Amino acid sequence: MKQIKTIAIKEFKDYFISPIAYIVISLFLIVTGWFFFSTFFIFGRADLRDFFSLLPIIFSFIIPAITMRLFSEEKNVGSYETLLTMPVSFTDIALGKFFAATLFTAAMLLPTLAYPIFISFIGEVDPGPVIGGYLGAIFLAAAYCSLGLFASALTRNQIIAFIIGCSLCFTLTILDKLLFFMPSKIISAIEYIGANFHFTNISRGIIDSRDILYFVSVIFIFIFSTHIVMHEKN
């Protein structure tokens, strides 16, 4: 447990030592800010529904960029060897890196809290969907972080890790948009696998244990897969 914390803190600090953190955060804020506010006054609704509906697709590009370095960089530089020969288990490393990335996405979401505060001045904001939306966003980000972590563990090349991560996240995001092409018998199953469906539920303010369970399962499956990859690569 202590090892996980040490690794997570180190990885989290690492983001802010390099310019990556600032670039990614700026990019995220510019893109979400523009897409959200460009239509905000046209609809004239005092809620964040449009902001949250943007998140799955933006996260599927931003989060792999955050997670791509987690393993790939270490493998490339060789510090992976130093890390693995210290008294830490594979689980400690995978979880430490996962928490660091998730914490970073939380830090990235933090400035967007200004939106609900700003909107509350110009209209009545229903707190339920906002709280649900942020909770869902954290779960979604955590799930995508675990996907990105897995992609990063596969290769020593950061660009490949980014592309694999993007593909995985993007697939989960658009799966429920593809239902039209699926045979009717498996529609509900496919819908359940897609991340968007669960995220939309939570961001409406309905916190259902099934949706929470979905995100926790995705996180578990991909951290476990990361563990297997680490084990097999030695």
Window 14-73: residues binding another protein (CB under 8 A): 14, 17-18
Tell me which of 1, 34, 39, 87 binds another protein, using CB under 8 A: 87
Count Cβ atoms within 10 A of the Cβ of residue 188 and give its class: 0-12 exposed, 13-18 middle, 19 or more buried. Answer: exposed
Cβ(51)–Cβ(34) below 8 Å: no
Which of 58-66, 83-91, 179-187, 208-216 is the region at the interface with another protein (rule: CB under 8 A)? 83-91
Using rule CB under 8 A, residue 3 touches another protein: yes
x/- map, 151-190, another protein, by CB under 8 A: ----------------------------------------
Using rule CB under 8 A, residue 122 touches another protein: no
Measured from the CB atom, the residue of 86 and 213 that comes closer to another protein is 86
Measured from the CB atom, the residue of 119 and 229 that comes closer to another protein is 229
Tell me which of 27, 46, 58, 84 binds another protein, using CB under 8 A: 84
Minimum distance of another protein from residue 197's CB (angstroms): 39
Which of 79-87, 132-140, 159-167, 201-209 is the region at the interface with another protein (rule: CB under 8 A)? 79-87
SS3 per residue for the chain: CHHHHHHHHHHHHHHHHCCHHHHHHHHHHHHHHHHHHHHHHHHCCCCCHHHHHHHHHHHHHHHHHHHCHHHHHHHHHCHHHHHHCCCCCHHHHHHHHHHHHHHHHHHHHHHHHHHHHHHHHHCCCCHHHHHHHHHHHHHHHHHHHHHHHHHHHHCCCHHHHHHHHHHHHHHHHHHHHCHHHCCHHHHHHHHHHCHHHHHHHHHCCCCCHHHHHHHHHHHHHHHHHHHHHHHHHC
Which of 75-83, 106-114, 128-136, 151-159 is the region at the interface with another protein (rule: CB under 8 A)? 75-83
Tell me which of 39, 85, 184, 209 binds another protein, using CB under 8 A: 85
Minimum distance of another protein from residue 42's CB (angstroms): 44
> Which residues form the interface with another protein (CB under 8 A)?
2-3, 6-7, 10, 14, 17-18, 77-82, 84-89, 234
